[in-house]
Amino acid sequence: MTMNLKNFNEEISFLSDKVDSFHVDIMDGKFVPNLTLSPWFIEQVKTVTDTPISAHLMVEDPAFWVDELIKVNCEVICFPAERANGIAFRMIDKIHRAGLKAGVVLNPETQISEILPYVADVDKVTVMTVDPGFAGQKFVASALEKIKQLRQLRDENGYGYEIEMDGSSNRKSFKRIHDADPDIYIIGRSGLFGLEDNIEDSWNEMTKNFYDATGIPVTE
């Protein structure tokens, strides 16, 4: 959502050698008031990279979009916890039967208790550290506590999900996010794509900012 679409091939190709996955936001204009990318966009990304793609659904009808994302073989499909009641187990099972990974997303106000019935079955839990729907939202530091709680829950029960954070990950927040210790960082406009005029310089600036904040080098 935050990349420069005019430089689609250049940015995707460069980042393919740097990142573990691409994070694609899909919004329907109803769950959040914005419209962004689509399964068709994921098809286009797959023509230029073999790097796995994780779709983040911000939609009223996640079951419909799960079916569409299975059709394009999206490696990870993450549905919103707030719209999963009554269909979570079916969606997770359908995603897994397609040979793909299932994830669930917690908005800042949504508590872990909402996903406890099925958290053992998902491959990833995404913790939103901004309100969903738009880039550049205010960082919600209190949401970081959920990352710590999810790690404790995983350790105590032997669960296999990865913990991902999403929202305003940048030089101002890197230290606090690192201290919370997620497995996956989502880096968007404020942390990467908006730093410099080209993607290579932006990447170098991002890695410098992360090292300055945490003392840890970013390894490719």
Q: Please identify every residue annotated as catalytic.
A: 25, 166
The 3-class SS string of 180-204 reads HCCCEEECCHHHHHCCCCCHHHHHH
**74 pairs with which residues across the strands?**
none
Closest by CA position to 137, among listed 93, 172, 168:
168
Helical ranges in the chain per DSSP H = 8-16, 39-46, 62-71, 88-97, 144-157, 174-180, 199-214
Cβ pair 207, 214 in contact under 8 A = no
* The Cα angle at residue 90 between residues 88 and 93, in degrees rounded to 5: 105
Length of the chain in residues, anyone? 220
